[in-house]
Amino acid sequence: MTAFKSNNLPLFLGILLGFATGIYTNELARRKNAASPQKILKKVKKIFREETPIQGAWISTSTKPFQKFAFKTEVYSGGLSRLEDHQLIQYKFLADAKTGGVLDLQRL
C-alpha cells in the first residue's frame, strides 16, 4: 500500500479549497435571501395602511422557532395598532424569517 504522495498535494488542496468555498458561498446566499425584520414590518404596514392609518408598529429583531403541524420554520413576531371606529385596535403577527410571508395574524 502506498502512502499519500506529495505530488497529489496540490490536487487535494484544490479539492479542499473548492469544497470550503462552496460551503461559504451557500451560507452567504442563504443569509442574503433571508427577509430582514425591517422589510417585513414595512410590508405589513403597507398592507394595513391601504385601509386606515397606523398608530404604531413593532417587530422583534430575533427569530424564534415556529411549528404548525409538520411545518417548521423560524419566525419574527410583531404587532401594530390602528384606529377602527374611533377605537385603538391592536394586531399581532408572525412572519416567516426566510420568506417574509405572514404566517399568522390575530386581532387582539
Task: Report pLDDT digits (tens) over 37-62.
Answer: 999 999 999 998 998 889 999 999 99
Same domain for 43 and 21, yes or no, is no
The CATH number linked to 66 is 3.10.450
Same domain for 25 and 41, yes or no, is no
Same domain for 25 and 40, yes or no, is no
For the record, the C-alpha cell of 13 comes out as 488542496
Question: Does the pTM exceed 0.85?
Answer: no
- The residue that leads in pLDDT, 27 or 98, is 98
* Of 15, 91, 96, 14, residue with least CA distance to 48: 91
Q: How many independent structural domains does the chain possess?
A: 2
For residue 12, give its domain range: 1-33
